[in-house]
Structure 1
Amino acid sequence: MELLTEFDADIVALAVSALSVAAYYFFLSLKVRDNPTYTIHGVHELARRLWVANIMRNPDKGIMGVQTLRNWIMGSTLMASTAAILIIGTLTLSGQAENITRSWHVLSMGSTASAELWIIKVMCLLVTFIVAFFAFAMSVRLANHVVFMINVPEFEAHHNLSPESVARRLHRSGTMFSIGMRAFLFAIPLVFWLFGPYFLLAASIGLVITLYRLDRSESEGALVAGSSVKQQNAPVVPIQAKYAK
């Protein structure tokens, strides 16, 4: 009980931060249930499905498909390498508890410079980077599968090599890439937590606000803007015309 009392500020800040992120994703799930393209992730899923169908039904575009997937794999490989470097750096921090805990908490109020708490914070950060590395590695693995599948002629394909099946595998690769990127973003509040609980709370709130702006698709924002313009009895430019240039 004395240990919990000593770390009460950090526990409360961590709980509030986790609940705020959970509440945001619950809100997002409700929106996606009504409109699958409410988020940019839903738009990307639709685009991948149509792209795979277009490539597999037009053999002349096979080279373009392979080049696109190569760029995808290169990006995932770069991010996996970055996650590996961050894992090594975080492991280095775990051995510096006695030296830097007090100096890093100089701006913190209501927190303790305990070496045990420092190890817990570093371990949370380490787990986040490991999740990112695993997700990016799985993204590379699934994209490598798609490289071979996407050039199979549709009329000769097994049912597991149909455009729909290949699109699902590519979507899984995209999902793993998104998980890796989210892990990087969630690492930001954890890094601020090293300086104190109030920094964690502020960074978590800022992250939720940023994700809310980034996750919504452009079409959703355009529809909201169009509605406000209509209320002012002003002419509305169609969305298609905006992107036709």
Structure 2
Amino acid sequence: MDGQHHSLQQLWIENSCDSVTSFSLDSFPKLVRVYIRSCEKMETVVVSRSLSCLQSLDIWNCKSLRSVSTLWMLAPHLKDLILLRCPEIEFSATGDPHSSLRNLRISYSEKLVSSAAFMNSQFHGLSHLVIDGDETHESESVKCLPKEGWLPASLESLELYEMKSVETLECKGLAHLTSLQQLDIRDCPKLENIEGEKLPASLIRLIIWNSPLLGKKCQMTDPQIWPKISHIRNIQVGGRWIDNTRT
């Protein structure tokens, strides 16, 4: 750890380091991909110099990890970020907006929702976002998604995955997404309602999978649901395409 390992491009740490609460990446200046999984005692990932080669950061099931903001702010070319089952992580603005990040997958948590202003202002170039319920306790309490003003306006695709308690999709939280082309709703068994005027006009594909309540209403052109989605060219429910010329 005292040397500089310039040849190392990929680092994977998994199910280990139970006694380590802090880990530094400063010894690996040429990293391209970093995977950290199931290190339950780790609280911080330390970076004090630029990781100019880092493109992918994947962190799963690190229940004590509190912040990785410094890490991605010192990774100017980071494109892919996954943060799953890390309930203590908070987003906090630590510098200029991050413009290179394109793909983000996160577990739902109240801490992330409370940092809505940061989410919207900090990830200017974000194209693809997955919000994952991931069987967390916090995701079991949310009834409506998304919160108004939370999502970055640059989004082109959005997936809601395993949001077990969500009952309502809020059009207001999507209205500003004028570039959104695809919306995926997967494994949301209680999702039944769409509130608001309609889904964004830019949408060209709506996919509903293993979400039977909403899927059934779409298939039956429910009068409360159909006017809000009928403008979408391609609608798929349970693997089957719906004829959206029906009235």
- Is TM (by shorter chain) over 0.5? no
Say which structure is richer in helix: 1
Q: TM-score normalized by structure 1?
A: 0.19
What is the TM-score normalised by the length of structure 2? 0.18
Larger strand fraction of residues: 2
Greater relative CO, 1 or 2 (CA 8 Å, sep 6+):
1
Bigger radius of gyration: 1
